[in-house]
Structure 1
Amino acid sequence: MRDIMGMMGKVKEMQAKMEQMQAEIAELTAEGKAGGGLVTVIISGKGELKSLKIDPSLFREDDVEILEDLIVAAHKDAKDKAEALAAEKTKALTAGLPIPPGFKLPF
């Protein structure tokens, strides 16, 4: 019985830490660039687009497709960085816990 109570206490502690971690991740920002910096995107830890900067040299009618591709690439770059930051925070929180490989947190 003592083991169950101890385990329940650890679960509550873990839950509180997860909530704090999720709040911290939401506050993170990540910057992605494409085209050698011609397009820059900043996203939140939740993946929400916060800022988009486009070099004026890309504002030519015949470059619209290139611009569209660069925006998508910059967003992907920023998203990958935000996910890596979130994974680092999650790894630090769950260090030492017996979590199966491939198990995604938060629940």
Structure 2
Amino acid sequence: MFGDIMGMMGKIKETQQKIEETKKRLDTVLVDEQSNDGLLKVTLTANRTIKSVDIDDSLLEDKEQLEDYLVLVLNKAIEKATAVNEAELGAVAKDGMPNIPGLDMFS
């Protein structure tokens, strides 16, 4: 039994390391989003760090419209990045968890 516990602890530590490696890799995964008319484009990492914002000059004439565009496009981009992030980290965590009867957190 003690050997089983040590084996599980080793597996958990290995999984934690894989999760950290995945988080670093997600800094290099880019998510692009744009407004329907293409006047505003943003790029984020899968860890939800904004990398670039491209604003068409026509949006600079109307502050309120630009703010609306930023809110909509950034929220869509963050939603996409979060989905990628959760899928990647969830897959690593699920694969690395020891099989403990009754503990079906990732099923």
Aligned residue in 1 for 2:21: 20
Q: Separation in 2 of the partners of 1:88 and 1:18? A: 12
1:100 matches 2:105: yes
Q: Separation in 1 of the partners of 2:104 and 2:20? A: 18
Report how far residue 57 of structure 1 moved: 2.1
Report how far residue 69 of structure 1 moved: 0.8
Q: Separation in 1 of the partners of 2:88 and 2:104? A: 15
SS for the counterpart of 1:36 is coil
Give deviations 1:3-34, integer Å, cap 9, x for gaps.
11111111111111111111111222211212
Report how far residue 47 of structure 1 moved: 1.9
**Which one-letter code corresponds to 1:51 in the other structure?**
S
Q: Separation in 2 of the partners of 1:53 and 1:99? A: 44
- Equivalent pairs: percent with the same residue? 33
TM-score (norm 1): 0.79
Please, which runs of 5 or more residues in structure 2 have no aligned partner?
Answer: 98-102
Aligned-residue CA RMSD (Å)? 1.8
Q: Separation in 1 of the partners of 2:104 and 2:83? A: 19
Give deviations 1:18-60, integer Å, cap 9, x for gaps.
1111111122221121242211111122322211111122232
Aligned residue in 1 for 2:4: 3
Does the Cα contact within 8 Å between 1:34 and 1:74 map onto a contact in 2? yes
